[in-house]
Amino acid sequence: MDYATESDKRLWLIGGTTESADLAAAIALAHLPCTITVTTEAARSLYPPVPGLRVLVGRLEVEKLEQFFQEENIVAVLDASHPYAIEVSQAAIAMATHQQIPYLRYERPAVKTVSSSDASPVIQLDSFNTLLTGNYLQDQRVLLTIGYKPLVNFQPWQDRSTLFARILPSLSALTAATKAGFTSDRLLAIRPPVPAELEKALWRHWGISLVVTKASGTPGGEDVKRDVAAELGISLIVITRPDVDYPQQTSNLLEALEFCRQHL
């Protein structure tokens, strides 16, 4: 890859989320040069093929970040990665600090609604480890809506509870779920958001007694699960977002766009 010239200063948008797609569209309209990184080819389709936006696919190794900054002539970092991709954020923060480059974290606000039904307690846990080392899953019929990567950690519980999982319709997700001990009759591959009526039908069909989700704040995601859990009287465990010390953070798109303008 050729090194960028001084006149080709660029933003680095850490992407792969719907929020990053909204940011990319706004950045493109403002005619700001931006390099977007995603980990999969499927994520590339989130971004418009317009001049000024450059999408790179693949995992950026930490030891190659400095080279990436130089090659792309990065002058500011806008981190819109998934709230649970903490390794990516921590590496970006460290490199931005090292390079003395401004960094801004952009993410959707957490869902703060509380179930109105005492019959459906919402349990907040700080980590998957707290969940797995406790007695929350014992003898339960559990629906996991946590993505496919953590599923391997639930394998020891396959004999102590009845586990179901909802995953993305991808080969990597299906492979990981199968390796974690999930059979085809206990998997549903579908891309969110999932409508409330489908949630209710699925939970009833599988006889779910406990649902585990992440506090990702996705519109039509966590909030829908809270409402359905309250209606059906099913317990909902929410794994809270990892605690990351972001130098700057916002959930306002206009503020994020102004940050981009200031540093280009």
Q: Which domain holds residue 12?
A: 6-109+243-262
List, in sequence order, every beta strand (DSSP E) within 59-177: 74-79, 103-106, 122-125, 141-145, 162-167
Is there a single domain that holds both residue 153 and residue 220? yes
Q: Which of 202, 136, 127 is nearest to 167 (CA)?
A: 202
In a domain, 127, yes or no: yes
Is there a single domain that holds both residue 248 and residue 188? no
Is there a single domain that holds both residue 54 and residue 97? yes
In a domain, 115, yes or no: no
Cα-Cα-Cα-Cα dihedral sign, residues 30, 33, 53, 218: negative
State the pLDDT at residue 218. Answer: 58
End-to-end CA distance of the chain: 22
Is there a single domain that holds both residue 131 and residue 86? no
pLDDT at 228 over 50: yes
In a domain, 249, yes or no: yes
pLDDT at 4 over 70: no
CA separation for the pair 108, 223 (Å, rounded): 13
Q: What is the CATH number of the domain that holds 95?
A: 3.40.50.720
Is there a single domain that holds both residue 137 and residue 212? yes
| 62-88 pLDDT tens trace | 899 999 999 999 999 999 998 888 899
Is there a single domain that holds both residue 92 and residue 132? no
CA separation for the pair 34, 20 (Å, rounded): 12
In a domain, 128, yes or no: yes
Q: Which residues are CB-neighbours of 79 under 8 A, at least 6 positions away?
A: 14, 88, 89, 92, 93, 103, 104, 105, 106, 246
Is there a single domain that holds both residue 233 and residue 248? no
Please tell me which residue, 41 or 70, carries the higher pLDDT value. 70
| 183-205 pLDDT tens trace | 999 999 998 889 999 999 999 99
Q: What angle do CA 212, 217, 218 make, to 5 degrees?
A: 95
CA separation for the pair 148, 126 (Å, rounded): 19
Q: How many CB atoms lie within 10 A of CB 159?
A: 8
- How many distinct structural domains can be found in the chain? 2
In a domain, 1, yes or no: no
In a domain, 61, yes or no: yes
- Only one residue has tokens 């970006």, namely 92
In a domain, 114, yes or no: no
Strand order of the β-sheet with 235-239 is 122-125, 235-239, 210-214, 141-145, 162-167, 187-189
Is there a single domain that holds both residue 12 and residue 52? yes
List, in sequence order, every beta strand (DSSP E) within 15-61: 34-38, 53-57
Amino acid at 227: D
Q: What is the CATH number of the domain that holds 130?
A: 3.40.50.1980
Q: How far is CA 138 from the centre of its chain?
A: 27
Assessment of whether the complete model's pTM goes beyond 0.95: no
In a domain, 116, yes or no: no
* Contacts made by residues 153-161, CB under 8 angstroms, sequence distance 24+: 153/128, 154/180, 155/180, 155/181, 156/132, 157/132, 161/137
In angstroms, the Cα distances linking 187 to 171, 183, 226 are: 13, 7, 21
CA separation for the pair 25, 52 (Å, rounded): 11
Is there a single domain that holds both residue 224 and residue 133? yes
State the pLDDT at residue 239. Answer: 93
Is there a single domain that holds both residue 127 and residue 70? no
Is there a single domain that holds both residue 18 and residue 90? yes
Please tell me which residue, 1 or 258, carries the higher pLDDT value. 258
